[in-house]
Protein backbone atom coordinates (compact mmCIF):
# COMPACT_ATOMS: atom_id res chain seq x y z
CA UNK A 1 0.00 0.00 0.00
CA UNK A 2 1.57 3.27 -1.18
CA UNK A 3 -0.46 5.49 1.14
CA UNK A 4 -2.05 7.30 -1.82
CA UNK A 5 -5.82 6.85 -2.02
CA UNK A 6 -8.02 7.32 -5.05
CA UNK A 7 -11.77 7.27 -5.39
CA UNK A 8 -13.78 5.90 -7.00
CA UNK A 9 -12.10 2.65 -7.98
CA UNK A 10 -14.32 2.18 -11.02
CA UNK A 11 -16.47 4.63 -12.95
CA UNK A 12 -18.82 3.91 -15.82
CA UNK A 13 -20.41 6.84 -17.61
CA UNK A 14 -21.71 7.94 -20.98
CA UNK A 15 -20.22 10.10 -23.70
CA UNK A 16 -20.70 13.80 -23.11
CA UNK A 17 -20.83 13.46 -19.35
CA UNK A 18 -18.55 14.95 -16.71
CA UNK A 19 -16.81 13.07 -13.89
CA UNK A 20 -14.56 13.96 -10.98
CA UNK A 21 -11.76 11.75 -9.77
CA UNK A 22 -10.36 12.28 -6.29
CA UNK A 23 -6.91 11.71 -4.86
CA UNK A 24 -5.50 11.96 -1.35
CA UNK A 25 -1.69 12.05 -1.26
CA UNK A 26 0.53 10.36 1.30
CA UNK A 27 0.76 12.20 4.57
CA UNK A 28 3.42 14.90 4.25
CA UNK A 29 3.59 14.85 0.44
CA UNK A 30 3.08 18.25 -1.16
CA UNK A 31 3.11 17.24 -4.83
CA UNK A 32 0.29 15.48 -6.63
CA UNK A 33 0.60 14.15 -10.15
CA UNK A 34 -2.09 12.84 -12.48
CA UNK A 35 -1.42 10.21 -15.15
CA UNK A 36 -3.52 8.49 -17.78
CA UNK A 37 -2.73 4.88 -18.67
CA UNK A 38 -4.25 3.40 -21.81
CA UNK A 39 -3.31 0.47 -24.00
CA UNK A 40 -2.43 2.57 -27.03
CA UNK A 41 -0.80 5.58 -25.32
CA UNK A 42 0.87 3.94 -22.35
CA UNK A 43 1.44 5.95 -19.18
CA UNK A 44 1.07 9.66 -19.92
CA UNK A 45 1.70 12.52 -17.51
CA UNK A 46 -1.20 14.95 -17.35
CA UNK A 47 -0.50 17.56 -14.70
CA UNK A 48 1.32 18.26 -11.42
CA UNK A 49 0.33 20.39 -8.46
CA UNK A 50 2.67 21.39 -5.68
CA UNK A 51 1.28 22.83 -2.46
CA UNK A 52 -1.86 24.05 -4.18
CA UNK A 53 -0.26 25.55 -7.26
CA UNK A 54 0.01 24.12 -10.77
CA UNK A 55 3.65 23.10 -11.26
CA UNK A 56 3.93 21.30 -14.56
CA UNK A 57 1.66 20.41 -17.40
CA UNK A 58 1.81 17.48 -19.76
CA UNK A 59 -0.56 16.10 -22.34
CA UNK A 60 -3.73 17.24 -20.66
CA UNK A 61 -6.71 17.97 -22.87
CA UNK A 62 -8.57 21.26 -22.53
CA UNK A 63 -11.66 19.23 -21.53
CA UNK A 64 -9.74 18.08 -18.46
CA UNK A 65 -8.90 20.22 -15.46
CA UNK A 66 -7.47 19.64 -12.03
CA UNK A 67 -6.94 21.40 -8.75
CA UNK A 68 -5.27 20.83 -5.41
CA UNK A 69 -7.07 21.96 -2.30
CA UNK A 70 -5.64 23.46 0.93
CA UNK A 71 -5.74 20.03 2.59
CA UNK A 72 -3.59 18.84 -0.36
CA UNK A 73 -6.10 16.44 -1.82
CA UNK A 74 -6.60 16.80 -5.54
CA UNK A 75 -9.42 16.37 -8.02
CA UNK A 76 -9.25 15.68 -11.73
CA UNK A 77 -12.30 16.81 -13.66
CA UNK A 78 -13.02 15.23 -17.03
CA UNK A 79 -15.79 16.79 -19.11
CA UNK A 80 -17.47 16.20 -22.46
CA UNK A 81 -16.26 12.66 -22.19
CA UNK A 82 -15.45 10.68 -25.32
CA UNK A 83 -15.02 6.96 -25.85
CA UNK A 84 -11.27 7.49 -26.13
CA UNK A 85 -11.10 8.85 -22.60
CA UNK A 86 -11.65 5.33 -21.28
CA UNK A 87 -8.46 4.53 -19.38
CA UNK A 88 -6.89 4.05 -16.00
CA UNK A 89 -6.22 7.33 -14.23
CA UNK A 90 -3.48 7.31 -11.63
CA UNK A 91 -2.63 9.84 -9.02
CA UNK A 92 0.86 9.92 -7.54
CA UNK A 93 2.41 12.00 -4.81
CA UNK A 94 5.86 13.00 -3.65
CA UNK A 95 7.39 15.11 -0.94
CA UNK A 96 9.13 17.57 -3.23
CA UNK A 97 8.29 19.19 -6.55
CA UNK A 98 11.08 17.58 -8.58
CA UNK A 99 9.07 14.56 -9.78
CA UNK A 100 11.38 12.08 -8.06
CA UNK A 101 10.26 9.21 -5.84
CA UNK A 102 6.61 9.28 -6.80
CA UNK A 103 4.17 7.01 -4.98
CA UNK A 104 1.26 5.90 -7.12
CA UNK A 105 -2.28 5.25 -5.99
CA UNK A 106 -4.32 2.22 -7.07
CA UNK A 107 -5.98 4.13 -9.91
CA UNK A 108 -9.49 4.84 -11.11
CA UNK A 109 -10.69 2.80 -14.05
CA UNK A 110 -12.93 4.95 -16.24
CA UNK A 111 -15.16 3.41 -18.86
CA UNK A 112 -17.02 5.74 -21.21
CA UNK A 113 -19.87 4.07 -23.08
Contact positions toward other proteins, by CB under 8 A? 2, 4, 42-45, 48, 55-58, 90, 92, 98-107
Which residue, 15 or 59, is less far from other proteins as judged by CB? 59
Which residue, 13 or 44, is less far from other proteins as judged by CB? 44
Residues 113/17, Cβ–Cβ less than 8 Å: no
CB of 78 to other proteins, least distance (A): 18
CB of 42 to other proteins, least distance (A): 5
Report phi then psi at 83, rounded to 5.
-55, -40
CB of 100 to other proteins, least distance (A): 6
What's the chain's length in residues? 113
Residues 22/6, Cβ–Cβ less than 8 Å: yes
Which residue, 5 or 79, is less far from other proteins as judged by CB? 5
- Positive or negative, the CA dihedral 27, 77, 56, 46 is positive
Amino acid sequence: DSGVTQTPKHLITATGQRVTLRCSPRSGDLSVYWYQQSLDQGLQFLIQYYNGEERAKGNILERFSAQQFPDLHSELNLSSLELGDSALYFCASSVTSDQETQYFGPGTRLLVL
